[in-house]
Amino acid sequence: MNKIIRVAALSGALALALAACGSAPDDDAASPSSSMTPGAGASSAAPVDFKACMVSDSGGFEDKSFNQSGAEGLERAGAELGVATNKVESTAATDFTPNIAQLLSDKCNLIIGVGFLLEDPIQTAAEANPDVEFALVDSAFSDKDFKPVTLENGKPLLFNTQEAAFLAGYVAAGTSKTGTVATFGGIQLPSVSIFMDGFSDGVKKYNEDFSKKVKLLGWDKDKQKGSFTGDFEDQSKGQNIAKGFIDQGADVIMPVAGPVGLGAAAAAKDAGDVMIVGVDADWYDTAPDYKSIILTSVIKQIGQSVFDTVDQASKDSFTSEPYVGTLENKGIDIAPFHDLDSEVPADVKAKVEELKTQIITGDLKVESPSQN
């Protein structure tokens, strides 16, 4: 009996709650099958007969890192260019090939793979489907003997991340009061250690220019060994590792570990006078809780490169020419110093601008074993 009353009361409450919520839209707007093509429904631009698709690597599209940046670029393309889009998530490396096969049967015109792990699956698919265009984030294509190859219908999207990380390392070394800076990564992948290589070179360059001895913790470029938390998820690991660095005197830390870096930011904030260098996006905007301690960020515009590739391909001007994000084309960049502008010595600022120009003109080469 009790049960019946309870059920009746619950359903009554639910009915009231739902009935209060809204009225039916007009018939023509509500047909459930009308907007089955993703992107087309939400587009503000005139629909274009083009379908751009994306496969994530095993991080998934909500990784707060490169998969997410890629997906945002694709969504923006869907909204602004009016192209249809479709994106599929992989849960493991074994999912890549079947996912690409599904997108091919979904009649995608352009398929973008996010992450170097997709190199082989994308390359195989590109060779088997010459009339479909492919792009690959963070890796170039290579043949069986590991020589770089160019595919007619395959475009690598690469980033000279080390150039921007170099400038960030320079600024960090120049701003540090304790003479110790630090960096750490999530997992030792080329797309992670490329940040750390650049950072390391930047610190070295500062020491040469100003004859200082700023110490870098967490990465040894020559040995390619350093500190890693082991994943891209566990923020408490980032917090612990950052605390360790702070205890050793570091006062600028660059965490290259996606969301794990927020743990480091928390540790830095607790410590009081420690600054953070963000990665991938300008953390001043994406992590507003830590605004006051973000010295700068190493920005990597994956979303923009995806958007540009979709834009070109949808206008029939797809080329297999690699897109290389550089300081010159702003595919990579360092963020403004925002609130900490006054902390950075003027001579360091001037020098950074000078170095930036030198890198752009090619007078200064910043290299990393992880670059493609």
Contact residues for other proteins (CB under 8 A)?
15, 18-19, 21-25, 30, 32-33, 35, 38, 58, 86, 88-89, 91-95, 97-99, 101-103, 105-106, 116-117, 119-120, 139, 142, 144, 146, 187-190, 193, 224, 230, 369-370
Handedness of CA 189, 191, 197, 203 (dihedral sign): negative
CB 251 within 8 A of CB 273: yes
The residue type of 245 is: F
- Least Å from the CB of residue 94 to other proteins: 5
CB 227 within 8 A of CB 286: no
Q: Please compute, for residue 281, the number of CA atoms within 13 A of its CA located in the half-sphere on the CB side.
A: 21
Q: Which is nearer to other proteins, 135 or 181 (CB)?
A: 135
Handedness of CA 184, 188, 192, 193 (dihedral sign): positive
- Least Å from the CB of residue 119 to other proteins: 8
Could you identify the residue written with the tokens 């001043």? 284
DSSP bridge partners of 219: 226
CB 353 within 8 A of CB 333: no
- Least Å from the CB of residue 295 to other proteins: 29
Q: What's CA 271's distance to the chain center, in Å?
A: 27
- Least Å from the CB of residue 345 to other proteins: 35
Q: Which is nearer to other proteins, 174 or 186 (CB)?
A: 186
- Least Å from the CB of residue 34 to other proteins: 9
- Least Å from the CB of residue 355 to other proteins: 26
Q: Which is nearer to other proteins, 225 or 315 (CB)?
A: 225
Q: Which is nearer to other proteins, 2 or 23 (CB)?
A: 23
Using CA atoms, how far apart are residues 7 and 200, in angstroms rounded to an integer?
A: 65
Using CA atoms, how far apart are residues 161 and 225, in angstroms rounded to an integer?
A: 19
Q: Which is nearer to other proteins, 125 or 352 (CB)?
A: 125
Q: Which is nearer to other proteins, 58 or 286 (CB)?
A: 58
